[in-house]
Structure 1
Amino acid sequence: MAVEQQAKAIHFVRLKLRLTRNGLRGQAWRIVLFIFGIFAGLWAALGGFALFTGAGVAGGDAGLVIVTFAGAGLTLAWLLLPLLFFGVDETIDPARFALLPVPRRTLLRGMLAAAFVSVPALATVVALLGLVLGAAVRDGAAAAVVAGVGAVLGILTCVVGSRALTSAFASMLRSRRVRDLAAILIAVLASSVAPLQLAVSSLIAHSDLDRAGQIARVLAWTPLAAPYAAYVDVAEGRLLSALVRLAIAAAAVAALVAWWWSTLESATIGTASGARSSSSASDKKAVAALFPAALRVLRPGRFSGLVAREWRYWWRDPRRRASLVSLMIAGVVLPMVMRASVRVDQSRMPLPVAVAFSALLAALVLSNQFGTDGSAYALHLLVGVPGRVELRARACALALLMAPILVLVTVAVAVLTQAQSQVLAALGVVAAGLGIAAGTSALLSVLVPYAFPESTNPFAVSGGTGGLRGLLAVVGSFAALVLLAPLLVFALITHGLVAGLVVLAAGVGWGGVGLLLGTYLAGGILDRRGPEILAAVTPRR
């Protein structure tokens, strides 16, 4: 009873601030990244503030289109990006309160309050202040009040929805029966963010305002954009419509809170309903049983054993599987959307450019490949696995999974968009991008390793490392793109069958050189800094 009376939301906020401060203590690189995250959040906040203010000042159909698409994009980013990329900051992990008599109501309030003490939440608050300012400047106090209420409901939708979604999917992924289906659903949802952004950009750039306005008016009646568009109705004298939009947003927040409430208990105690343990005996030989059926052609050995291990881990580990399926979906959707939506000088985006980003993205998932192992990497150090063998085996396993998909997607997109003449050059770019990005990721994984928390939530990241993941992705993408640029330019300026064959051969060779050189340099560092890397990727208790 004492805990129930004393535990308040402010205590969770103080706890998060204390844990964040302790996590930065003695870690210079974390302090630098934390400062980088603050500046990135400030840049995003000012950009959002200017966008929402401009929408309010513009008014009319243009203002409605801007505020609706911006609000919906903001909400989708909050809901889906943590599943795909940044992860959810688990400084205040509900599982850590499992043994404490903290009521679920108190826990929910405390976690909600703590969620607002973050760079993304504060940046969103600043951005939405522009909504209030824009409404006040053009439409007066009444519109500003409604915009303020809408901004509050909007930020609640973002924060509560993000927490509820990740909590629900984390619970689902603990059950083997629904784990694969949940991972696919997560990937489809999260991987749709970039294609949706490209589609919206194409719509605005190549369509008239009337068509965009029709879509905006429909979108404004959904929870994604209703709270942001309510003040427009007040400005145009439709008070009832504004109240209905706010009611839609409030109902969405209430539903998300109820959903979060229902999944919070399982997230706390680490259980999932309907999961049953089962065991089956196998009469296969011990060594052969460790190799998946697709890899039985490999001769058993150190390298092939590591490849088989990574192959299995990509499919069985919840955190890796969520990333893998997301990459597969993005690899399929992104080239199609770029070819269909993005046009340069009234022509389609060249096929080599459209598939290059999928290849780079596929290999950049290795930028913290030891963090997914955690303390289990100690076994590799004990048996003395050479660093170069380790890194090349991991890259090979990922390539065996992703390369066939990228090849099939490249050919399919070429056929569907009448770009058969660019297939060979595009395949060369894919091979080069995959190899170069894998080599770049190998260097990043040994230079800046970091730990994932010991959590059954596959989207959890330790406090302060969400910004690190984003920074590593930016650095890795930029470095790989710079190295890929010469081949990409050559593929764009040359045409014909012979040129395509040259680009294909050059791409395979350039990608192989990038992979071998990257793993050679990173492998030497891994051999020298193995214990330090193990310490860096071991979660703190």
Structure 2
Amino acid sequence: MALALIQMKFAVLRRDLSGPRATWVFSGAVAGLAMAASTIAMATVDAPDLGTVRDLLAVLFALWTLGWMLGPVATGQPVLRAEQFALQPIPRRRLALGLLGAGFVAVTAVVSLVAFAALLVFGLRLGTVPALVSVPALLLQLTLAVLLSRLMGRLFGALARSRVGAVLGAVLTATMLVVASSGWIVFSALDAVLRTGFSPVFSTVVRALPSGWGAVAVEASARQDWLMTGLPLAGLVLLPAVLWVAWNRSLGPARWSRPTVRGSSADRAAPRGRASLSPTGAVYAKELRTYARDPQRLQSLIVPPVFAVLSALVPLAFGSTVFLPFMGALTALMGAATCANLYGQDGTALWLTLQTPGSERADVRGRQLAWIVVFAPLSLLLTAAGIAVAGQPDLNPWALTATFALLGGGAGMVPLVGIAQLTPGPDPRAAKNAAADHSDVAGQAFSMLFLALTTAVPALCVTLAGHLLHNPSLLWAGVPVGVVTGWVAYAMLGQAAHRNLRKRGPELLFLMRTGKQQQQPKPGQAGASFSKTLPVHRQCLLWISFLAGCIALFPQALVPTLMKLSGHVEPLWFLALHMRPEWQWPTVFLMYTIGVLAFTVAARIAFIAIKAARAA
């Protein structure tokens, strides 16, 4: 049984490596191997005390284990699940063993094995006996991570169907995004850690965690402390055994979840007041209820403010409050990104709009109004709180300008991108276990981030001009300009969205019903997904160029420029600001050049693909 499931997982893996998800699989594998190589490099650093290296490895292994635990929140349930074999006469223990074996057949498992090989490198550094001890330790660490991932997947799969579970999943998702985007800055203090080591309390905590037991056993064997060698290894055997029993008993349908929404009478559910007098008001009332009831939409509401607050708090570890005033702007920007697939989230319910002629405008405007009502109070409140806490008055016009402009731009872009780049997924009535179980919207989110930022450029240019000319009136003029440009984006982009919906409505409904793979573009029309005409290597180059352009142009070029112009320089994770003063501006211009070149490469690949699709 175990062999059959492992063979099934190999078949799925081969399909992923040659199918439409190959780009993301290869990109994730490259990024994971780079992080694994960094983990191995940490096992070779020089430190006055080898206990510091042990603690550093324990911290890194804790992060890898945490990634396995939180992975099901973002990636969803594994491909092979116990529910799929519910009607088969398979003993539960054999099924559990087969599913566990299939869990090791994955790119993530290979990458994690390479990362945990840092334990072997650390053991070889200490001697023959520690190297021998490290081999079972690293295998047990990987087994522990896989079992924790399976158990957490069962738990989150049940919780995701409730509102509490949706909120919990959103907080964890935002935390993972912050760790992925900003967590690496903690290594800027690596030199100080290697000289002085971690604090005694922190060192005790990371060694007490199961993820640190392998490093403790290897380091203890070098000191010939056999008690501290045997106890962690015994724990690494006993704990996976306990987790195995728990996971074995959890197989089968989850019974601890309950329906998200309970029935309500038609009288209580009907819109009241002005909402009952206009089609736009009816859509607005429906959207507000959806934000409060649907787990997926609730996650879209919770992730942006949590991500903004955590991202602004990370620089506080370095004593910097420069990002606090921009929490509201970041909330509006992430709110647009998380709602990029607004129409795709509703599934085939789009047919209700199409069956009512002339209702496209009311549908788009109602969704825009609901988005503004949901995210504007959060953004403005966080902006006010950040301004009050930061105590940097010269940043206030920048923060307010960006917030107002991004709110309007986001409200305009959300329906437009949701229609133009609709990604099909399961209907809301289908069981949802995680964000990735709905549809792959990474491309939409990246597009939304870039497009929404462009709507704030005119207002920010006015503020920049006021700063360069030392004109306070012009500096604060960016705020009303941001309000005006936001309103223009709201009106004009919304108009383009409802016209696009009226024109492409039946096509979008067909896409939602049949899926992206079965959609056939019309002759002379750019295909529904021009990336399908690209080979895998050009898809990888397209996304790598786009990501490199985003990183180089915005955080590594634009932000240091604003800091140097404002006079408030905080090096943090900005490469240019860590250079000597005479090299800072050249480094900034180099980042601008890299960003522009990367976007040029991505645009050229995209235009060639679109031209080829039209010619076909």
For the residues of structure 2 that align with 1:412 and 1:168, how far apart are their CA atoms?
A: 35
Per the alignment, residue 86 of structure 2 pairs with 98
Bigger mean CA offset, 406-415 vs 258-267: 258-267
C-alpha deviation, 1:109, in angstroms:
3.0
1:82-136 per-residue CA deviation (whole Å, 9 max, x = no partner) reads: 42xx33155334433333334333333333333333333333233333443x225
User: Do the aligned partners of 1:168 and 1:260 also contact (CA within 8 Å) in 2?
Assistant: no
Per the alignment, residue 478 of structure 2 pairs with 503
1:114 and 2:102 are equivalent in the alignment: yes
Match of 1:451 among 417, 420, 425: 425
C-alpha deviation, 1:404, in angstroms:
0.9
Q: Which runs of 5+ in 1 are unaligned?
A: 1-7
For the residues of structure 1 that align with 2:218 and 2:358, how far apart are their CA atoms?
A: 63
1:482-517 per-residue CA deviation (whole Å, 9 max, x = no partner) reads: 554565576578389745642322323333444445
Per the alignment, residue 11 of structure 1 pairs with 4
For the residues of structure 1 that align with 2:302 and 2:8, how far apart are their CA atoms?
A: 35
Per the alignment, residue 44 of structure 1 pairs with 31
Letter matched to residue 58 of structure 2: T
* SS in structure 1 at match of 2:117: helix
Bigger mean CA offset, 481-490 vs 154-163: 481-490
C-alpha deviation, 1:378, in angstroms:
2.6
Letter matched to residue 449 of structure 1: T
Q: How does 1:117-128 map to 2 (within 5 A)?
A: 117-128=105-116
Letter matched to residue 398 of structure 1: W
C-alpha deviation, 1:273, in angstroms:
6.0
1:290 and 2:270 are equivalent in the alignment: yes
C-alpha deviation, 1:159, in angstroms:
3.0
Bigger mean CA offset, 215-224 vs 248-257: 248-257
Letter matched to residue 317 of structure 2: S
For the residues of structure 1 that align with 2:231 and 2:480, how far apart are their CA atoms?
A: 61
Per the alignment, residue 531 of structure 1 pairs with 506
Q: How does 1:277-316 map to 2 (within 5 A)?
A: 281=265, 289-291=269-271, 296=273, 298=275, 300-316=277-293
Per the alignment, residue 5 of structure 1 pairs with none
Per the alignment, residue 168 of structure 2 pairs with 185
**Could you say if the C-alpha distance between residues 217 and 232 of structure 1 is closer, same or farther in structure 2, counting changes exceeding 3 Å?**
farther
Match of 2:146 among 115, 136, 159: 159
1:201 and 2:185 are equivalent in the alignment: yes
Match of 2:198 among 212, 222, 231: 212
* SS in structure 1 at match of 2:373: helix
Bigger mean CA offset, 153-162 vs 302-311: 153-162
C-alpha deviation, 1:246, in angstroms:
3.7
Q: How does 1:385-400 map to 2 (within 5 A)?
A: 387=360, 389-400=362-373
Per the alignment, residue 526 of structure 2 pairs with none
User: Do the aligned partners of 2:113 and 2:142 also contact (CA within 8 Å) in 1?
Assistant: yes
Per the alignment, residue 126 of structure 2 pairs with 139
**Could you say if the C-alpha distance between residues 232 and 99 of structure 1 is closer, same or farther in structure 2, counting changes exceeding 3 Å?**
same
**Could you say if the C-alpha distance between residues 116 and 448 of structure 1 is closer, same or farther in structure 2, counting changes exceeding 3 Å?**
farther
1:496-541 per-residue CA deviation (whole Å, 9 max, x = no partner) reads: 9745642322323333444445444444444333334334334779
**Could you say if the C-alpha distance between residues 449 and 187 of structure 1 is closer, same or farther in structure 2, counting changes exceeding 3 Å?**
closer
For the residues of structure 2 that align with 1:145 and 1:525, how far apart are their CA atoms?
A: 65
C-alpha deviation, 1:164, in angstroms:
1.9
C-alpha deviation, 1:44, in angstroms:
1.8
1:291-331 per-residue CA deviation (whole Å, 9 max, x = no partner) reads: 3x8xx554632222222212111221223223433334334
**Could you say if the C-alpha distance between residues 419 and 524 of structure 1 is closer, same or farther in structure 2, counting changes exceeding 3 Å?**
same
* SS in structure 1 at match of 2:307: helix
Q: How does 1:199-348 map to 2 (within 5 A)?
A: 201-202=185-186, 205=189, 208-209=192-193, 210=196, 212=198, 214=200, 215-227=202-214, 230-267=217-254, 271-272=255-256, 281=265, 289-291=269-271, 296=273, 298=275, 300-335=277-312, 337-338=313-314, 340-341=316-317, 347-348=320-321
User: Do the aligned partners of 1:187 and 1:322 also contact (CA within 8 Å) in 2?
Assistant: yes
For the residues of structure 1 that align with 2:94 and 2:514, how far apart are their CA atoms?
A: 27
1:419-470 per-residue CA deviation (whole Å, 9 max, x = no partner) reads: 456445323312323443454554543325131487423316459x5xx433
Per the alignment, residue 418 of structure 1 pairs with 391
1:80 and 2:106 are equivalent in the alignment: no
Q: How does 1:358-397 map to 2 (within 5 A)?
A: 358-384=331-357, 387=360, 389-397=362-370
**Could you say if the C-alpha distance between residues 277 and 531 of structure 1 is closer, same or farther in structure 2, counting changes exceeding 3 Å?**
closer
1:16-73 per-residue CA deviation (whole Å, 9 max, x = no partner) reads: 4556777899xxxx62xx2321331232233123212211111535533542332222
For the residues of structure 2 that align with 1:432 and 1:509, how far apart are their CA atoms?
A: 8
Per the alignment, residue 477 of structure 1 pairs with 449
C-alpha deviation, 1:472, in angstroms:
3.6
Q: How does 1:421-432 map to 2 (within 5 A)?
A: 422-432=395-405
**Could you say if the C-alpha distance between residues 49 and 169 of structure 1 is closer, same or farther in structure 2, counting changes exceeding 3 Å?**
closer
Match of 1:63 among 53, 57, 62: 53
Per the alignment, residue 380 of structure 2 pairs with 407
Q: Identity, % of aligned pairs? A: 25
Bigger Rg, structure 1 or 2: 2
When normalised by structure 2's length, the TM-score is 0.70
Per the alignment, residue 3 of structure 1 pairs with none
Letter matched to residue 41 of structure 2: G
For the residues of structure 1 that align with 2:396 and 2:458, how far apart are their CA atoms?
A: 18
User: Do the aligned partners of 2:65 and 2:211 also contact (CA within 8 Å) in 1?
Assistant: yes
Bigger mean CA offset, 41-50 vs 139-148: 139-148
User: Do the aligned partners of 1:443 and 1:519 also contact (CA within 8 Å) in 2?
Assistant: yes
* SS in structure 1 at match of 2:355: helix
- Computed over aligned residues only, the root mean square deviation of the Cα atoms, in angstroms, reads 3.9
User: Do the aligned partners of 2:350 and 2:509 also contact (CA within 8 Å) in 1?
Assistant: yes
Q: Which runs of 5+ in 2 are unaligned?
A: 519-616
Bigger mean CA offset, 305-314 vs 154-163: 154-163
* SS in structure 1 at match of 2:210: coil
Letter matched to residue 451 of structure 1: G
User: Do the aligned partners of 1:52 and 1:131 also contact (CA within 8 Å) in 2?
Assistant: no
Per the alignment, residue 4 of structure 1 pairs with none
* SS in structure 2 at match of 1:265: coil
Letter matched to residue 288 of structure 2: W
For the residues of structure 2 that align with 1:234 and 1:303, how far apart are their CA atoms?
A: 71
Greater RCO (Cα-Cα under 8 Å, separation 6 or more)? 1
User: Do the aligned partners of 1:51 and 1:130 also contact (CA within 8 Å) in 2?
Assistant: no
Bigger mean CA offset, 515-524 vs 150-159: 515-524
**Could you say if the C-alpha distance between residues 375 and 66 of structure 1 is closer, same or farther in structure 2, counting changes exceeding 3 Å?**
same
For the residues of structure 2 that align with 1:391 and 1:242, how far apart are their CA atoms?
A: 64
User: Do the aligned partners of 2:167 and 2:299 also contact (CA within 8 Å) in 1?
Assistant: yes
For the residues of structure 2 that align with 1:280 and 1:462, how far apart are their CA atoms?
A: 28
* SS in structure 2 at match of 1:212: coil
Letter matched to residue 182 of structure 1: G
User: Do the aligned partners of 2:328 and 2:378 also contact (CA within 8 Å) in 1?
Assistant: no
User: Do the aligned partners of 2:409 and 2:489 also contact (CA within 8 Å) in 1?
Assistant: yes
User: Do the aligned partners of 1:360 and 1:480 also contact (CA within 8 Å) in 2?
Assistant: yes
